[in-house]
Amino acid sequence: MKSGTTTLFVADLTKDSLFTYDIHKDTLSDGTPFPTNDLRLTVYNPKPAPLPPDVVNAVSPPNGTNGGPPADTLKWQAIPTFDSLPVFYRVQLATARNFTPASIVLEDSVADLWHTYSGLLDNVWYYWRVKAFAPFGVGIYKSTPDSFYVGVVSVKREGGSVPAAFALYQNYPNPFNPSTTIDYSISKDADVKLLIYNEAGQLVSTLINEKQTSGDHKFNFDGSNLASGVYFYQLFVDEQAQAKKMVLIK
């Protein structure tokens, strides 16, 4: 056999199965040793294909936490691995339970069991979830995400987590160019402010600052004088507030 690099092609292997192999020196049938650079490859029977990664369970902050800080750490449990293969995690943090693209404020892939966050708005519910991915498959997110509230909720609907005094809805369309509609409702006459902030947390516009009557309201926001980017609109009703994210694309 000629010395040098040896290439071996293996055909008819079972798809989506893991194989182990052993490379070692040997001798020819007449007892002559293989040259130093000649190796033999042996492929053994395939192992059963592993199941996809398990669903990842959250650790902290505890689900439904009320009064969390605007900067902290998300933590979750490790999942079992297969043959010591590495496992990575995809984490998402959003202001909407259904994780629409415009509502996602953090999305990253890490090898750790934690991820820090900062710069969250006060008086906002946040939702988060994690899924695992590895060489042996990709997991799925939990069907119901975990949530926490930044700030303090003083009044709640019975069995709910949204302040009963008012409700702020997602703007539409979103993303938008250059205008969008913001809907909200208040349960009683109150002092109302509707503010716009940029991604750095700077106030860029005061849309409403007046006493309003109870009922449904809407505001048509024109972003013609703003640059493309992520913005937050925050509604204050007396001493309570909510905020949501919107995206301007020009």
State which amino acid sits at residue 107. E
CA distance 28 to 35: 10
Contacts of 163 (CB under 8 A, 6+ apart): 153, 154, 155, 156, 157, 237, 240, 242
- Start-end of CATH 2.60.40.10 domains in the chain: 58-150
Predicted pLDDT at 63: 83
Chain centroid offset of residue 7 CA = 43
- Nearest partner of 155 among 217, 240, 70, 212, judged by Cα: 240
Q: What is the pLDDT along the chain (250 residues), one digit of tens a residue?
A: 444 555 566 656 655 455 555 555 555 556 555 554 444 445 555 556 667 788 999 888 888 776 666 667 899 998 887 777 788 999 999 988 899 888 888 898 888 899 888 778 877 888 999 999 888 788 899 988 998 888 644 333 334 444 446 788 889 998 999 999 999 988 888 899 998 988 777 788 999 999 999 888 999 999 999 999 888 888 888 767 777 889 999 8
Q: Which SS3 state, helix, strand or coil, does residue 103 take?
A: helix
Predicted pLDDT at 67: 64
Predicted pLDDT at 92: 94
**Residue 30 belongs to what H/E stretch?**
none
CATH assignment, 58-150: 2.60.40.10
List own/partner pairs for 197-206 with CB under 8 A and 24 or more apart: 197/121, 197/231, 197/232, 197/233, 197/234, 197/243, 198/229, 198/230, 198/231, 198/232, 199/229, 199/230, 199/231, 199/232, 201/119, 204/231
- Start-end of CATH 2.60.40.2550 domains in the chain: 166-248
> Does the domain formed by 166-248 have CATH 2.60.40.2550?
yes
Residue 129 CB coordination number (10 Å): 23
DSSP 57: P
- Nearest partner of 129 among 98, 93, 88, judged by Cα: 93
- Nearest partner of 154 among 61, 244, 67, judged by Cα: 67
Predicted pLDDT at 50: 67
Q: Full-prediction pTM beyond 0.85?
A: no
